[in-house]
Amino acid sequence: MLSRLLKAKIHRCVVTQAELHYEGSCAIDGVLLDLAGIREYEEIHMWNVTNGKRFTTYAIRGEENSGIISVNGGAALQADVGDLMIIATFGDFTEAEADVHKPRLVYANPDNTVNHTANCIPVQVA
């Protein structure tokens, strides 16, 4: 049996462009993509922290060190420039893989540079 787990997350990046008439997808700074282990054309879940909207699209590589997070096509109606986003991917893992899996977590600064990385989320306290 497979378990679907968080594979990667880019936390609190900021939308820099919203291009309605682009073909579709989300362009993500190549440095963020590589650190998170997100592949170009991989399905991504995008959660808009600013307005609460959630949608799915796919990742395309943006220019390295540009800070670009460009929400394109119809997804551009779900986010405005300046919105805070969480971008996540999920993967299917066998029970043995799931037992040792650690997600790749990238935490962004407001300019979409890397603040820090981690492979676990701290325990939430009451």
Query: Global pTM?
Result: 0.95
pLDDT per residue as tens digits for the range 64-109: 999 999 999 999 999 999 999 999 999 999 999 999 999 999 999 9
What is d(CA 49, CA 63) in angstroms, rounded to the nearest whole number?
A: 24
Annotated binding site: 57, 73-75
* Residue pointed to by tokens 């679907």: 4
Q: Domains (ranges, CATH) in the chain?
A: 2-118 (2.40.40.20)
Question: Can you give the pLDDT at residue 66?
Answer: 98
Q: What are phi and psi of 73, to 5 degrees?
A: 65, -150
Annotated binding site for substrate: 57, 73-75
Cross-strand partners of 47: 54, 86
Report the catalytic residues. 25, 58
